[in-house]
Structure 1
Amino acid sequence: MNLRSISLFVVPLLFMIVLGCEDKALPVSVSAANESSLTTHQPITSDIINGKGTKMGTAKFTQLAKGVQIDVVATGLKPGLHGIHVHETGLCEAPDFKTAGAHFNPSGKEHGYDNVNGEHAGDLSNLVAGPNGKAEAQFVLTTVTLQKGVSNSLLKEGGTALVIHEDPDDMHTNPSGNSGNRIGCAVIK
């Protein structure tokens, strides 16, 4: 394991332990999240639904100078780490969200930060849910855009989806890091 993969798993857990596992999860970033937003595209906010079709949170997508910031708030999760990824199809049909397709991967790479042939454009670090089942996180994906008409756009024809998985992402196993069932989904259109 490299330093990045260790920090993706250990750092959020250490913060939770040091803070006594407070009732809210700590933010996890994929990249430098302190960039100013571009004014060329309004942020997109989507409801995250669970397998029963009930709203369990929101995801906000904001275009930055170098990528897309994703702000996630979700409830009803088991405490701990959850894989979370952008998937290739903007369709979230409960209960299993298989309609969202595979990970968003316009460059044809393999899954995960630790994969020498990776990573998918839609790969994110794990989402951390606190003891009360709530997760709040901010991610930045520098591999995607909200600008239409380019191959790495989240707003491609048919849209894309943000999917939360039941288990942690191991950051290297194809196709989804052994992250288990899909338990939450938000359409990005």
Structure 2
Amino acid sequence: MKKISLLAIMVLFVSVMACKKDKKENTETETTETTEMAEPAVVETKTEEVKKIKVALNPKSGSNVSGNAVFREENGTVQFTAIMSGLEPGNHAIHLHETADCSSDDGTSTGGHWNPTAQPHGKWGDEAGYHKGDIGNFYADENGNGTATLSTDEWCIGCGDPAKDIIGKAIIVHQGVDDFTSQPSGAAGARISCAGVIE
């Protein structure tokens, strides 16, 4: 009788231990699986480098015209935006000139229009030809505020291509309107604001 009781107790003890071990293994397996599922997937993404230059436009030729211009290059395209104030209401020309030197009072230290491909002056995109600096005209409202924009793949920021690179050029705002035909500058009048594009 004692042998049977002792045997029964041993069987019961082994069964309980086996259950505990099985339960522990299941818990460890579940924990491991949860941990593995929680690990984030590694995703490689390639982003195109974005280049950006912001410059201040300063008054020239006795004007009060000032503002800021931004060049932003992404995916091979440069977006240009210039925001100005202190203008006479109406249309005005804006160009890139060949030298980033705004030291003269009248802005003539910037030289002529940037024209690395030796084309005639004209309207941007014209089949007859145009300078790489021929941005065009923009409108100033009754408060003297104006915005000029251009988007192009014919410019770059710091790429080193002399036919495309805007580094070392100047932005000039003119008093008058570009007529797109007069050579070599479109008869746009005095240079009333200037900014050097320096990286």
Under a length normalisation based on structure 1, what TM-score does the superposition of the two structures give? 0.72
> Cα–Cα, structure 1 residues 141 and 96, in superposed 2: closer, same or farther, change >3 Å?
farther
Higher RCO, 1 vs 2 (CA within 8 Å, ≥6 residues apart): 1
Residue in structure 2 matching 1:178, options 147, 170, 187? 187
2:55 is matched with which residue: 43, 46, 59? 46
* CA distance in structure 2 between the partners assigned to 1:184 and 1:48 by the alignment: 6
SS at 1:126 equivalent: strand
In the alignment, the residues of structure 1 paired with residue 152 and residue 122 of structure 2 have an alpha-carbon distance, to the nearest angstrom, of 13
Structure 1 runs (4+) deviating above 4 angstroms are 52-55, 114-117
- Scaled by the length of structure 2, the TM-score of the pair is 0.68
Contact 1:59/1:70 (8 A) holds in 2 = yes
1:153 aligns with 2:162: no
Asked which structure has the greater CA Rg, the reply is 2
Work out the CA distance in 2 between the residues paired with 1:104 and 1:141. Answer: 15
Contact 1:41 1:146 in 2 (8 A): no
User: What letter matches 1:168 in structure 2?
Assistant: V
* 1:59 is aligned to 2:69: yes
Distance in structure 2 (CA, Å) of the matches to 1:64 and 1:169: 29
How many Å apart are 1:118 and its aligned residue? Answer: 2.0
Q: How many residue pairs get matched?
A: 149
2:147 equivalent to 1:136: yes
In angstroms, what is the RMSD of aligned CA positions? 2.1
Q: Is the 8 A contact 1:112 1:120 kept in 2?
A: yes
Q: Secondary structure at the match of 1:83?
A: strand
| Per-residue deviation, 1:137 | 2.9
Q: Are the aligned partners of 1:79 and 1:128 in contact in 2 as well (CA < 8 Å)?
A: yes
CA separation of 1:175/1:43 partners in 2, compared to 1, >3 Å: closer, same or farther?
Answer: same
Percent identity of the aligned residues? 32
Deviations 1:159-179, CA, capped at 9 Å, x for gaps: 000100000101121111110
Pair 53,169 (structure 1): closer, same or farther in 2 beyond 3 Å: closer
Aligned partners of 2:52 and 2:71 also within 8 Å: yes
Q: Distance in 2 between matches of 1:109 and 1:149?
A: 20
SS in 2 for 1:43: strand
CA offset digits 1:18-50 (Å, max 9, x no partner): xxxxxxxxxxxxxxxxxxxx8424310000000
> Residue 80 of structure 1 aligns to which amino acid in structure 2?
G
What SS does structure 2 have at the residue aligned with 1:99? Answer: helix
Q: Does 1:123 align with 2:99?
A: no
Whose helix fraction is larger, Structure 1's or Structure 2's? 2
Q: Which position in structure 2 is the counterpart of 1:19?
A: none
